Structure 1
Amino acid sequence: MNPTSPFSAHGNVLIVGGGLVGASLAIALDAAGCRVTLVEAAAPRAGAQPSYDERNLALARATVNGLTAIGVWPLVAAQATPIRHIHVSRAGEFGSARLDAARHGVDALGWTLPARELGSGLLRRLDTCKQLVRMAPASLVGLEQHDDGWRAQIKTPDGIQHIDAALLVGADGTESFVRAQLGIDVDTHDYAQTLFVCTVTPERDPANRAWERFSDEGPIAMLPLAERRCGLVLTVPSESADDVAALDDADFIALAQERFGWRLGRLTRPGKRYPYAIRRVAARSLIASRAVLVGNAAQTVHPIGAQGFNLGLRDALTLAELIAETKDPGAPALLTRYAERRAPDREGTMAMSHDLVRFACMPQPWMAPLRSLALMAYDRVPPLQQALARRGMGFRGEPPRAVLERLP
C-alpha cells in the first residue's frame, strides 16, 4: 500500500493521532489483519511524541491484560512496578479504604510505568506491524465525505497527500481536530486545578503500595516506582499554580510533605516538575457517519483515580474487536454497537472521577463524617470492597475480550 497515492476506501481505517491510544489501536487492528493508516503529528520517536512524557501512569490490571494481548507488555514489563496495595484517605478525617491484591486473589491490582517507557514500547511494537502505513510527521488538514467513507487531506513534508478510508478515527487528544471537523460538540468543566507530577525519593520503601489522599486543595497521589522511588501527583488550585511552579526544590518538597504526611517518612530528591491544567472535556457523541472518537478525543477526565489512558485503551480494544468481526469497519451498525458497548464504562468512569473529586475535596466541615463513613464502608463491607476493586482494576460494563485474558 502506497500512502503517496489514493487507494480504495473499502476496508481501510484511518487513525488520526499517534499517542498512547491511537498507537494501541493501530497495533490491535494490524494484528487483526486490517488495513490501517496512522497519521502522527510528531516524528516517530519517543522524545517527539507529546503524550510520551514524564507522567507516571497507573495501569489498571485490565490495561496490562490488554497490552499483553497486543504484544506491547513484554516490551515494557521490566520497567513496570506492581501495585499490590492501595490506601485512600482524606487529610484530617478518620476514615480510610484499603485495597489488597491478595484479598482479591490477584498478584497485583495494577502497575506503574512512566509514559515515556510505554511510548517507547509502543513504537517498537509499531515497527513490527505488517500492513500498517505510518505517516509521520504528518497532520490532517481537510476532510471530504463520500458515500462510502472519507477522503482526508494529509500535510506531510513532501506536500499534501490524499487518503481514502471507510472509517475515520479521531485519536488526536483533548483539542481534537477530527472532532471539530465532524461538528461534534463537547461539554467542558474547568476544575480550576493544576497538577504537578514528578518523582521523589521517600525515606521508607513504598513496598508496592499506592496512596490517594484528598484535601480541600485537591488530591495528592503517591505511586510506587523502581529503585524505591515514587511518582508524586500533587494537585493545587490553579490560582496557586504559578507560585507552586516558582518554588525551589526544598519548598516544593515541604509542600508535598505537608499535603501527603509522613507515612513514607521524609521525602527528598524531587525530580523535574511538570504542570497540567485539569479540565473535563466530554464529546456529546462518540460516533458520526463513518467516524468514531477514542481516548481523550472522546473524553478527557479528571486524573483522580488515574483512569484516563485505562479508559482510552478500552475504547481502542473494543473498537478493534468489533472491526475484526466485519468487512466494513465504517458500517453504521458497527459504530452504533461500539457506542452502546462503551456507554456504561465511559459514563460510569466519568461520573466516578467527577463525583469523587467534588465529594472528597469539598471543604464543608459537615461532609467530614459522611466521607469517613463512606470510606469505612468501602473498606469493610465485602460487596462494596469487591465492586471498588473490580472497577479499579478496569473491569466495568462489557469490556473488550482482550482485557479479560489471563496474564501468562
Structure 2
Amino acid sequence: MPASASAPQPSAAPTPLHDVLIVGGGLVGASLAIALDRVGVDVGLVEATPPGALPAVFDERNLSFAEATVNALAALGVMQHLRAPGGAIERIHISRAGDFGRSLLRAADHGRREFGRVVVARDFGEALESRLAELQRLTRYRPMRFLGLAGGEGGDDLRAIRVADDAGERVLRARLLIGADGTRSGVRAALGIDTDSHDYGQTLFVTRLRAERGPDGTAYERLGEHGPTALLPRGDGHFGLVHAVASEQADAVAALDEADFLAHAQAAFGWRVGRFLACGARAMHPAQRVLARRTTAARAVLVGNAAQTIHPIGAQGFNLGLRDALTLAELIARARAEDAAADCGDADLLERYFERRRVDRARTLRFSDGLARLGANPSGLLRPLRSVGLFAIDRLPSVQAALVGGALGYRGEVPALCRAPGMDA
C-alpha cells in the first residue's frame, strides 16, 4: 500500500492488512512507526488528527529527553528536524522546601557533557511530522477514530479493529496491534485490560518562564508539600516551568493574573534564578498514576502512557515510553533478520518483550512514585530522612550512580538505538 494512502477508502475495497497497526500518533506512537519503518516493517498508523494538525499533546509543555532518548531520536532521524534548539541539561539541582540540604548532580563528573536535552513538545511534534512525511512504507489513516475490536474478522493469526471517519466505519487488520493512545486508552479498554490508579491530589501548571537570570544548563527540582516546582533550561533563553499545587487550589491559582501567578510560583521555588519576570500561556494537567495490569495480550501490546502514566517528577514518562517502543522494534527487527517472514505478533516475541521491559518499568515506576510521595509528605518526622537522602546523593558514589543512570535513561536492558555509536552495550 503506498505511503500516500489515506482514509476513507470505498467500502468495497479489500480490508487492509499490515504487519503492525499502531493506534495513536502522539510522541510514542509516531516514534514507534519511524523505528519500525526503518527496518522494513509494513505499518499502519491510526491518528485522530487530520493532516496539517498536531495531536493535542504537542503543546507548550517541556519535554526532558534523557541522553538515551536523544541518542535514539538522532538515530531515527528526528532530532535533525528540530527547528528550535534544545536546552542542554548539564546539572540537576534537587532540594525540598523546609528541609536541610540539597543535591547537585553534574554531568561532567560522570564523563558526560550533559544529562539530556529540554525540547518544547510543539517543536518535537513538528520534527516527528517532518520525519513521518519522509517514510515510504507507512500508511497513515487520518483523521480516524478507534471504535473497538472487530470480532470474527481476525482469527488466531490477526487482530482486526473497527475505525471510523466522516465517511463511515471500516475494518483494519494486522499481525500485531499497538495501543499508543494515551492514558485513557481505548485499545486497552477494548482488550479488557484493567488499570491501577492513584490520584496524587496535585494539579500541574506548565508554562514558559523568563527570570532575572537565564538558563545556565541547570535543571531545578524543588520539592514541596503540594508537589514539585521544576525549572528546565530551554534553548530559547527561557525556562520551562512545572508548578504543582494542591488540586483543591487549582481553580484559584488558574484565576490568578500573571503577576500573582509568578509570585505564587516564586514562593514555592525560591530565588535561585532571581525574580520571575514573565510567563507564557499556562496549561493545567492532573498528576495521576495509571498503570495497566498487563502490557501485552494476544497479538497486542500497550506502550507509552497507555501502558503506564506516571507522575512527571524526575521527567521519566516519555523516556520510559520511548524505551517501550524501541525495545519492541528491536525485537521485531531481530526476528525479521532471522526469518524475513517472521510474525510480528508471535506469542514468544511478545513474551520476550514483556521480560525485556519488566526491570526498567518496575524501577522507573518505583523511582517516580517514591519521589512524588516522599517529596510531598509534610510529616516533620521525614525531614531528617530526606536531608540524609539529599546528603547521600552528593556523598555516596553508589547512590549517585543509580540516580545518574536513571537520569541518563539507562535502566535495565537498554535498546541498542539508545546507545551512542561506540558505546559499550
Q: Tell whether the structures are fold-level matches, with TM greater than 0.5.
A: yes
Note if 1:61 corresponds to 2:90. Answer: no
Tell me which of 234, 237, 260 is aligned to 1:251: 260
Aligned residue in 1 for 2:19? 12
Count of residue pairs brought into register by the alignment: 406
The residue that corresponds to 1:38 in the other structure is 45
**Amino acid paired to 2:14:** P
- Identity percentage over the alignment? 51
**Alignment of 1:315 onto 2:320:** no
Q: Quick one: which of 148, 157, 166 aligns to 2:166?
A: 157
Structure 2 counterpart SS, 1:146: coil
Pairwise mapping of residues 260-271 of structure 1 onto structure 2 (< 5 A)? 260-271=269-280
User: Could you say which residue in structure 1 is the equivalent of 2:372?
Assistant: 357
Paired residues for 1:123-162 under 5 Å: 123-144=129-150, 145-162=154-171
> 1:77 & 1:271 partners in 2: Cα distance?
20
- The match for 2:121 among 115, 131, 141 is 115
Query: How far did 1:319 drift?
Result: 0.6
Q: Is the 8 A contact 1:68 1:407 kept in 2?
A: no
Q: Taking structure 1 as the reference length, what is the TM-score of the superposition?
A: 0.97
Residue deviations 1:186-222 (CA, integer Å, cap 9, x gap): 0000111100001111101220111001111211100
SS in 2 for 1:320: helix
- Runs in 1 of length 4+ with deviation above 3 angstroms? 2-9
CA deviation profile, 1:366-399 (whole Å, cap 9, x unmatched)? 1111101111101111121111111111100011
Unpaired stretches in structure 2, ≥5 consecutive residues: 336-341
Q: Which amino acid aligns with 1:381?
A: L
1:33-73 alpha-carbon deviations (Å, 9 max, x no partner): 0000000011233x541111110111111110110111101
Comparing 140-149 and 250-259, the one that deviates more: 140-149
CA distance in 2, matches of 1:318, 1:157: 35
Letter aligned with residue 141 of structure 1: L
Does residue 331 (structure 1) correspond to residue 346 (structure 2)? The answer is yes
Alignment-derived partner of residue 22 in structure 1: 29
Contact 1:6-1:163 within 8 A present in 2 as well: no
| Aligned CA distance change for structure 1 residues 189 and 99 (closer, same or farther; 3 Å) | same
Question: Are residues 1:166 and 2:175 paired?
Answer: yes
User: Quick one: structure 1 residues 231 and 318, their matched pair in 2 at CA, closer, same or farther if it must change by over 3 Å?
Assistant: same
8 A Cα contact 2:88 2:235, kept in partner = no
1:390 is matched with: 405
- Determine if the alignment matches structure 1 residue 399 to structure 2 residue 405: no
Name the CA distance, whole Å, in 2 between partners of 1:176 and 1:253: 35
Please state if 1:238 is matched with 2:247.
yes
Given that 2:148 and 2:186 are in contact with CA atoms closer than 8 Å, whether structure 1 keeps it comes out as no
1:295 to 304, 308, 322: 304
The 1:8/1:113 distance shift into structure 2, 3 A limit, reads: closer
Using structure 2 for the length normalisation, give the TM-score.
0.93
- Offset at residue 323 of structure 1 (A): 1.1
Structure-2 residue corresponding to 1:49: 55
- In the alignment, what sits opposite 2:339? none
Partner amino acid, structure 2, of 1:104: H
Counterpart for residue 93 of structure 2: 87
Pairwise CA distance, 1:7: 5.0
